Amino acid sequence: MKPSILSLMIMAITLNAFSQQRTVIHLWRGKVPGEDGAKHVPVITPDTSKGVIRITDITDPVLTVYKPDTPNNTGAGIIVCPGGGYQILALNLEGKEIAEWLNKLGYTAFVLQYRVPKKQAGALQDVQRAIRLVRGKSANWKLAPDKIGVMGFSAGGSLSARISTLYGTNWYAPVDKADSLSSRPDFALLIYPAYLDLGNGNTLTPALKVDHHTPSMFIFQTADDPYGNSALVMTGALRKAKVPVELHYYPKGGHGYGLRPGNPAAEAWPPLAAKWLAEIVNL
């Protein structure tokens, strides 16, 4: 057997393990907008440092559905956007593990495998389509269509902020009736977000159009995070637009910690986010 074929088999087996007994929704049944090549299985990178599974070269974006054993009564669903610098996706650290934590709180989670590497425009199309599909099929999971939120980490936090402020533009040509639905998230959680301060003098990234229609946000970051200014400028913009925002800014923790124990920031944000979620979805 040729090594390339063996590698593909290993990749397929590993990725299938993540979605075993879980529903996987392909965002684009036909041609993926802006893509000319054939769809294929994502590539697992050889970098497994810190026990993180990193995937890249995503040509067939999907949502993996994580349903809680005991759903809560809020009917809220959350689309989870892993980070990875728009180069890779930290599939377990900021995807699977987050979804399972949300399940324990009673929320239905949808882990988004958006296009990478270096496909920010495609990633925005993917998250817009994902929100519309979840909203359109909300009854399937006993969700309220007006309680669909996003949650992102690092570059996934950037993507969550982008769709939260740019939902009013259709970023792709409609493909079915789901695309007539709103892609505005009803709430957003940005955990150590990146790339939100790309304006002059490290001000808010110009593409992010914050106004009073922008959804309420929970933001967590640390002062020693190299991207730590992102939380500050986004919070300032939300405050100026009179959008409800809850910011937690801790002194230490760095970047890319997920919710794994041993890091003070990783242990701090989950209970804070859980409390905020419980309040926001019950409004």
**Model confidence over 125-173: pLDDT tens digits?**
999 999 999 999 999 999 999 999 999 999 999 999 999 999 999 999 9
Checking if the pLDDT of 74 tops 90, the result is: no
Q: In this predicted structure, what is the pLDDT of residue 21? A: 62
Query: When comparing pLDDT for 11 and 200, which is higher?
Result: 200
Alpha-helix runs per DSSP H in the chain: 3-19, 97-104, 120-136, 155-166, 229-240, 264-280
CA angle 249, 255, 257 (to 5 degrees): 100
Domain that includes residue 127, residue range: 3-280
Identify the band that residue 15 occupies on the pLDDT scale cut at 50, 70 and 90.
Answer: low
Q: In this predicted structure, what is the pLDDT of residue 9? A: 40
Mean pLDDT of 174-183: 97
Checking if the pLDDT of 196 tops 90, the result is: yes
Backbone angles phi, psi at 221, to 5 degrees: -160, 170
Checking if the pLDDT of 174 tops 60, the result is: yes
Can you give the CATH number for the domain in which 69 is found?
3.40.50.1820
Cβ-based neighbours of 6, under 8 Å, separated by 6 or more: none
Checking if the pLDDT of 14 tops 50, the result is: no
Amino acid at 11: M
Checking if the pLDDT of 73 tops 80, the result is: no
Q: What is the pTM of this model?
A: 0.93
Mean pLDDT of 257-278: 97
| DSSP sequence for 119-182 | -HHHHHHHHHHHHHHHHHTGGGGT--TT-EEEEEETHHHHHHHHHHHHTTS--S---SGGGGS-
Mean pLDDT of 4-15: 44
List residues bridging with 83 in a β-sheet.
Answer: none
Q: In this predicted structure, what is the pLDDT of residue 1? A: 36
Checking if the pLDDT of 211 tops 50, the result is: yes
Instruction: Work out the percent of the chain whose per-residue pLDDT is above 70.
Output: 92
Instruction: Work out the percent of the chain whose per-residue pLDDT is above 90.
Output: 89
Q: How many domains does the chain have?
A: 1
Structure tokens at 4: 């390339």
Q: How far is CA 248 from CA 135, 211, 241, 254, 258, in A?
A: 29, 21, 19, 14, 15
